[in-house]
Amino acid sequence: MKAAVVLMSIILALFVTSVVFAGTNVECPYPYSVVIDGDLDDWAGMTFIFVPYDKGTTPASDDSDASLEFSVVADDDWLYVAIDVKDDAIINGETDDWQDDSVEVYVDANHARTEEYEGDDAQITVASANIGGDINNPILTGSGNIGDTGAIAAVVQTADGWIVEAAVPLSNALWNIDPTPGTVIGFNVHFNDDDDGEGRDHKLIWSDLDTDDASWGNPTRFADLTFVEYAGLAAVRPSGKLAVTWGGIK
């Protein structure tokens, strides 16, 4: 019994340390496909990175007010991004999406890390106004040639916030991204939180390099996304509890 307890402790430690909380790099399993429908059941076993209420330029009061978890996977055609937002007041209606409840996904396809946007850099902003909207024709705003990204998104409300499940083409008019394991691109995730309909109240940022909320115009503030071979292993979803897919342990 003692040996079994020790073994289980080692296994759990391995699962905990497999999660990269720092906003410097996220590993993107490839090849793995999901259905864009706002249901994250097909993300089971994937690592979700937690961005708490106080990681960003304008902290919120607590995680229920504003926080998020996100994960990424890819197949030969799409980079998939799942963002599970905790938001106690879903607000939209401002003229600018960044003043409303919205998430921002950033891509630097050639990882050039220039100080100004090139043709292959994009800020893809998905506002909560897309809840229940057309998955294949979401209303997207942002910096760069946003209309040429070809991104799609399912946005659904949850009991404690909302979910964005997006897919960004690996090949479009702006870039051709090779998802071969080892390839690195620039990547970042932001969350704008409006609590009262009078403009943005909180700003959460995953990348540790973006200390001044400058990713909208400066790709040097992005972190990295590294494509890795999908091994089919269970993972940790860090939301205050250890969520292990025991079927993945042999």
Specify the 3-state DSSP secondary structure of 176: strand
Q: What is the mean pLDDT of residues 185-191?
A: 98
Domain map (residue ranges) of the chain: 24-231
- 139-165 mean pLDDT: 96
Task: Return d(Cα 160, Cα 86) in angstroms, integer.
Answer: 6
H or E element in which residue 12 lies: helix 2-17
Q: Name the maximum alpha-carbon separation found in the chain.
A: 62
Task: Tell me: pLDDT of 249 over 50.
Answer: no
Which pLDDT band holds residue 20 (cuts at 50, 70, 90)? very low
In the β-sheet with 49-51, what is the strand arrangement from edge to edge? 49-51, 66-74, 78-87, 161-169, 152-158
Tell me the whole-structure pTM to 2 decimals: 0.86
> What's the pLDDT score for residue 6?
41
Model pLDDT for residues 32-49, shown as the tens digit of each residue: 999 999 999 999 999 999
> If one looks up domain 24-231 in CATH, what number appears?
2.60.40.1190
CA 39 to chain centre: 15
Of 187, 164, 205, give the one whose Cα is nearest residue 51.
Answer: 205
Confidence bin at 90 (pLDDT 50/70/90): very high
